[in-house]
Structures are given as C-alpha cells and as structure tokens.
Amino acid sequence: MFTKNEIIEILKDDSKSEWLFSLADKTREENVGDEVHLRGLVEFSNICKCNCKYCGLRKDNENADRYRILKDEIIETVKHASEMGYKTIVLQSGEDAYYSEDKMIDIIKAIKEYDVALTLSIGERSYEEYKAFKNAGADRYLIRIETTDRNLYGQMHPNMDFDNRLRCLKDLKDLGYEVGTGCLVGLPNQTVESLADDIMFFKEIEADMVGIGPFIPHLQTPLKDAQKGNFTLALKVMALTRIILPDINIPATTAMETINPNGRIIALQSGANVVMPNITSLKYRAKYEIYPDKICINDNPDKCRSCIGAKIKSIGRTVATNYGFSHNQG
C-alpha cells in the first residue's frame, strides 16, 4: 500500500509510469482475472437541472438539443442488449426530475424482467428514493464524487453541496447497493495532492467500482478555454486506484478513448476490467454530449458490441458471461 506522499511522488514522476502500469495490470490479473465485464449504457435523458461547469448537458447550455427516452423505448433497448448477451444495464441521465420515484420504479421493474443486473446513474436523490429503487430491483449505483477537493468542488458545481454528495454515497452503501464513484482528472486548479486524496477517498468509502476519466473542455460551457486533462495522468490515477483497491471493478472509460484513439485498450492493460459500451439508439447518441468528440456517436449498438468484443479478444482477454458483481462473486 502506498502512503499519500508516495502517491503524490508517483503522480508527479512520469519516469515511473511504465512500472506503475505493469504493476496495475498484474494486480488486476491476480485479483479479478482476465475477464472483461461489459455494461450496456443507456443514456435515456440529457435534461439536467444542474449546472456543472465542465458538462455540455448543464442547464444553462441552451444549444443542447434535449430529449427523453420513455419507458417503452428503454425496454426495447434493454431487450435487444440482453439478446446481444449484456448481463448488466446501466441507466444514465442528467438530473431530470421528470423521472419521478414512481416512473423510475416502473422502469426498474420492467428491466428486471430480463436476465440482467441493473445499475442506476441518475444523480442525487433522497434516501427514500434510493431505498425504493433498491426494493424495485436496482443492484448498483454510480455517482462520481468528481473531486474530493471541497473548494474545487464548490467552484465546479454551482448550487450543489459537497456534503450532500457524500450523503448520497453513504446512503447507497447503507442500502446495500454496489457503489461506483470516481473523479475527473485535469480540472482547472486541480492539484496532484487532491488527486491523491481522491484515491484515498475511494479506499476510505470502500467503493465497489471507480470510474476515472480526463476532463475534456466543452465549447458551450464556462470551461471552454480550459486545458484538457492529460491522458497519462488520468491513466496513472486509474492504475494507482487498482493497486490500492485490488478487487474492485474499474472501467476503461469512454473519455479515455476520446482523448487517445486506443485509450480503452491501454486502460484495460493498466488496471481496468470493465467496458461500458453505448447501447443507446443511434438517433440520440450525438445529443448526449457531456464533452465533445465522444466516440461511437455514429455507430449503432450492434456495431459497438462487435467492435469492443474484437478489441478485447485482440489483447488476449475474454468477455465475461456472468453478471460481474464486484469482488468476483458471480
């Protein structure tokens, strides 16, 4: 285990990167094996009441072409994904109050008619709502802390409350969800010290899944002129997370591939064991523009499934056929 100071040194020193990536790859192999878990991602609404400074879906972006996918069409998507062999569905959206507790319960129950594990990624909700979603059949929940630097969190998230974010993570754990969190790498004013704190935080809250991606500036946001995150630094944060939390699930994120054409494969060889291919219908994809130049916006779900399957095979890994709960239980 590394101390915070050692983590900071490793993050600062790029001469140690190759050593770090090999150690993370070995740690991944010894603890979670060679299987790669695929999670089919449905981006079902790009409407959001939040105003995160970095995100293209922020409320104040009037250029975003907003959409909602309703229950029947979500179920069509899930049915097709399940036929393609997906064992986990991830429902992701902006913070869209249209999807009330009752509407979500209805959707969750309908999805759980299929043979899939279900992850929600729909933002901050009350304990009661999280409880109701769990009772309806949701298995996992993703909510990134984004940064553990309170000051930076405040700058990036107008009218949001860091403590409520922490409350959400705690409630989800208490309710028995598998909890996924993560951070952005390369936000303006972010320090390597705070990235080290992020990694320690993942350990402290016993995250089951941690997603890490570089910040990518979006032209219709206040951060349009900011510098984009560095691929190697994001990969190093991810690799350190693998070494410090050996048996969790770590996705090779879409943002990694957006700033490096081979980013997901490189991530899979530096500690990652999960990929989240997009299964959203082609007609909505370009509109879920959290950052520009997102991959796969002109590809359909079948294309992504075969594309990623081939890439995984090409590096001698296999696509898992189980649900891929964390700590390798089934």
**What part of residues 152-191 is at the interface with ligand 5AD (CB under 6 A)?**
184
Between residues 186 and 251, which has the closer beta carbon with respect to ligand FES?
A: 251
Q: Which is nearer to ligand FES, 203 or 303 (CB)?
A: 303
Q: Is 39 in the site for ligand 5AD (CB under 6 A)?
A: no
DSSP 151-197: HHHHHHSTT--HHHHHHHHHHHHHTT-EEEEEEEES-TT--HHHHHH
Kindly state the smallest distance separating residue 321's Cβ from ligand SF4, in Å.
Answer: 31
Residue with tokens 């219908």: 281
Rounded CA separation 90/28 (Å) = 23
Query: Does the protein bind ligand FES through residue 233 (CB under 6 A)?
Result: no
If residue 256 lies in a helix (H) or strand (E), which one and from where to where? helix 254-259
User: Is 299 an interacting residue with respect to ligand FES (CB under 6 A)?
Assistant: yes
In 221-323, the DSSP E strands lie at 274-275, 318-319
328: which DSSP letter?
A: G
Task: Rule CB under 6 A: choose which of 2, 25, 31, 50 binds ligand SF4.
Answer: 50
Q: Does 47 bind ligand SF4 (CB under 6 A)?
A: no
Residue 307 near ligand FES by CB under 6 A: yes
Q: How far is CA 107 from CA 114, 164, 262, 321, in A?
A: 12, 26, 35, 24
Q: Considering only residues 245-284, where is the footprint of ligand FES by CB under 6 A? A: 277
Instruction: Give the nearest distance from C-beta 144 to ligand 5AD in angstroms.
Output: 4
Strands (E), 203-258: 209-214
Task: Tell me, residue by residue from 83 to 122, as one string, x for binding to ligand SF4 by CB under 6 A and - for no binding.
Answer: -----------xx---------------------------
Closer to ligand FES by Cβ: residue 199 or 272: 272
For 15, counting Cβ atoms within 10 Å of its Cβ (0-12 exposed, 13-18 middle, 19+ buried), the class is: exposed
Is 203 in a helix, a strand, or coil?
helix
Residues that bind ligand FES (CB under 6 A): 277, 296, 299, 303-304, 307-308
Residues that bind ligand SF4 (CB under 6 A): 48, 50, 52, 55, 57-58, 94-95, 123, 290
